[in-house]
């Protein structure tokens, strides 16, 4: 399996964990919610869905509206197929969510992982964020070293492009620092604060905690899949 197809399978499973969808809905959500899939096509999505069905992680069901199925039949068209996550598929997705290896720090995979942080346990979020920050700091150091070696040979426009790339990486590192500090603050607050009735049950459900994301007012967060950060 290629890295790209693995990211797509992860994203499809994550979206279907929220609710069953048909192919068009899935493609729309992938395009709008996960920008890393802006350019992919049905020719990419449907083989992925068929693979997930064959693995037992999804099942295919007819559309829920009988009149829609009848109208499609009368028009000579196939009724829309709805894809639903199976119990095995949910278990597989949760295993993927717990993974924190180096591939989760790369540009496209990190963007997909971050989109499902609301379903991810706090400690896993921390490891992914810290790994991503470490990877970008390494990239930034290489970019600075390269610029120092080649500065004299670059024209003004190429130099500005190099600087723009470095600034993009620096901006994402600052954003990651804020996220990591917010996660730590939320964890420390839970540990030190008094436990009110019902708090224990709420704390057990760590996959839904946001960790207290930083508020940026009118500013926007850097896109982890931004090409200028590569």
Residue range 156-187, pLDDT digits in tens: 999 999 999 999 999 999 999 999 999 998 86
Residue range 53-109, pLDDT digits in tens: 999 999 999 876 554 555 554 445 566 899 999 999 999 999 999 999 898 998 888
pLDDT band at 192 (very low <50, low <70, confident <90, very high): low
Report how far residue 42's alpha carbon sits from residue 47's, in angstroms, rounded to the nearest whole number. Answer: 9
State pTM to two decimals.
0.73
Average pLDDT over residues 138-143: 95
Question: In the structure, how many helices (H) and strands (E) does the chain have?
Answer: 9, 3
Report how far residue 86's alpha carbon sits from residue 196's, in angstroms, rounded to the nearest whole number. Answer: 36
Q: Around Cβ 200, how many Cβ atoms within 10 Å?
A: 9
């Amino acid at each position: 399996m290629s890295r790209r197809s693995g990211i797509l399978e992860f994203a499809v499973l994550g979206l279907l964990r929220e609710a069953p969808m048909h192919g068009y809905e899935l493609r729309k959500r992938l395009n709008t919610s996960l920008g890393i899939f802006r350019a992919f096509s049905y020719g990419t999505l449907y083989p992925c869905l068929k693979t997930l069905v064959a693995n037992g992680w999804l099942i295919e069901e007819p559309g829920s509206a009988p009149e829609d199925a009848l109208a499609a039949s009368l028009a000579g068209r196939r009724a829309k197929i709805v894809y639903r996550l199976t119990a095995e598929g949910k278990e597989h997705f949760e295993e993927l969510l717990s993974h924190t290896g180096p591939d989760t720090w790369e540009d496209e995979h990190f963007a997909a992982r971050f989109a499902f942080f609301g379903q991810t346990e706090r400690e896993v979020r921390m490891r992914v964020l810290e790994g991503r920050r470490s990877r970008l700091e390494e990239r930034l150091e290489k970019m600075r070293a390269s610029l120092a070696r080649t500065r004299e040979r670059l024209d003004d426009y190429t130099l500005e492009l190099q600087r723009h790339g470095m600034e993009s990486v620096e901006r994402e590192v600052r954003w990651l620092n804020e996220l990591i500090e917010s996660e730590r603050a939320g964890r420390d607050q839970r540990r030190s604060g008094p436990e009110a009735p019902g708090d224990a049950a709420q704390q057990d459900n760590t996959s839904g905690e946001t960790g207290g994301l930083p508020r940026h007012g009118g500013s926007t967060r850097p896109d982890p899949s931004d090409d200028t950060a590569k």
